[in-house]
Amino acid sequence: MIHLVTGGAGFIGSHLVDALVENGHEVVVVDSLVTGSRANLASHLGSGAVRLVEADLLGGGWQESLSGVDRVWHLAADPDVRQSAIDPANQVKSHVIATQRLLDEMRKASVREIAYTSTSTVYGEATVIPTPETYTPFEPISVYGGCKLAAEALISAYSHSFGMRSWIYRFANIIGPRGSHGVILDFIRKLRKDPRTLEILGDGNQIKSYLDVRECVRAMLFVAGRTGAPVNTFNIGSEDWITVRRIAEIVVEEMDLPDVSFRYTGGERGWIGDVPKMQLSIGRLKTLGWTPGSGSEECVRAATRALLDEGVQ
């Protein structure tokens, strides 16, 4: 098959490209390289299996790349939830308007399949935990979550209106090699500057589910093609959770730093739009036959080691 991956030079996108190439597919990557990196695709560029189109979905120069494509994987996004409270207009452009433009170009090019990476934040502060895909009402508390939900709605509408088929993946916290944001990176960078004191946003008791990026990609590929409804929605995550404080302890252990004191900013939220408690139900995935190979703490430790090995600053 020929796959087009928007945001394919980014964190999750580049791991997806790795897996698609390994499975023998041809891949076209459309990425503005604002947050993505050519280095993430270095092993593929020049091989003939991957072609990089440096373009923004809000601009031009990428539309003709849809010719002959069998499936689009739409990962292009601004993943910084905290930033969405500072610049909401950019979130709307990056997620909602860009998604609508992509869907309309797919319609014109007769590309009928799209897989979209959404987020657990569409559920807001769910009262049912683990949270299933059928949970309602959807009340996102961040602009990021609201924009992701709006993009989901557009994909559903286009799927039903124009004979498309879509897979929507609602992610827990995805971590691992090539990570570009998130709590683990935040802790590593803070400890590089001050190895004696670590600031932790909130009270440290926030508990959330974490999954290795390669496990996430495995789940994405497993689902696509196995379900045939116009819209197929799946949570992807681990079956447990971990506190922010425990993540801090793991990072300190892996950096081999003695006598680090934790300083909390206070409150149950780390920032505006932060959900203090999150775990997704993956029962729908398990019914198809997929289960995660590791839990949250194991994934956090492995991701910390990988990022330290990469020499993040």
Residue-wise DSSP of the chain: -EEEEETTTSHHHHHHHHHHHHTT-EEEEEE--SSS-GGGGTTTBTSSSEEEEE--TTSSS-GGGGTT-SEEEE------TGGGGT-HHHHIIIIIIHHHHHHHHHHHHT--EEEEEEEGGGG-S-SSSSBPTT------SSHHHHHHHHHHHHHHHHHHHTT-EEEEEEE-EEE-TT--SSHHHHHHHHHHH-TTEEEESTTS--EE-EEEHHHHHHHHHHHTTT--SSEEEEEE--SS-EEHHHHHHHHHHHTT-SSPEEEE--SS-SSTT--SEE-B--HHHHHHT---SS-HHHHHHHHHHHHHHTT--
Give residue 170's pLDDT band: very low, low, confident or very high (50, 70, 90).
very high
The hierarchical CATH code for the domain 176-209+240-278+294-309 is 3.90.25.10
* pLDDT given at position 228: 87
Confidence band (pLDDT; 50, 70, 90) for 46?
Answer: confident
pLDDT at residue 85 tops 80: no
| Contact residues for 146 (Cβ-Cβ < 8 A; gap 6+) | 140
Is the CB of residue 25 less than 8 Å from the CB of residue 48? Answer: no
Rounded Cα gap, residues 289 and 291, in angstroms: 7
pTM of the model: 0.95
- Residue 241 token pair: 């959770």
What is the model's pLDDT at position 185? 96
Q: Where are the domains of the chain?
A: 2-174+211-236, 176-209+240-278+294-309
Kindly tell me if the per-residue pLDDT of 101 is higher than 90. Answer: yes
For residue 246, pLDDT beyond 90: yes
Give me the pLDDT at residue 294, please: 94
Higher pLDDT, 77 or 75: 75
Per-residue pLDDT, averaged over 19-26, amounts to 97
Parallel, antiparallel, or unpaired for β 165-171 and 26-31? unpaired
| Whether 158 is catalytic | no
User: What per-residue confidence (pLDDT) applies to 312?
Assistant: 79
Q: Which of 26-40, 82-96, 292-306 has the lowest mean pLDDT?
A: 82-96
**Separation between Cα atoms, residue 229 and residue 273, nearest integer Å:** 32
**Confidence band of 87 (pLDDT split at 50, 70, 90):** confident
State yes or no: pLDDT of 79 exceeds 80. no
pLDDT band, very low/low/confident/very high, at 202 (cuts 50, 70, 90): very high
Q: How confident is the model at residue 273 (pLDDT cuts 50, 70, 90)?
A: confident
CA-to-CA distance for 64 and 288, rounded, in angstroms?
35
Say whether pLDDT at 313 is over 90: no
Reported CATH class of domain 2-174+211-236: alpha beta
Averaged pLDDT for residues 209-227: 95
Of the candidates 126, 152, 154, which has an alpha carbon nearest to the alpha carbon of residue 139? 126
Task: Please tell me which residue in 116, 135, 144, 169 is annotated as part of the active site.
Answer: 144
Band the pLDDT of 272: cuts 50, 70, 90. Answer: confident
Bridge partners (DSSP) listed for residue 6 = 30, 74
Percent of the chain with pLDDT over 90: 90
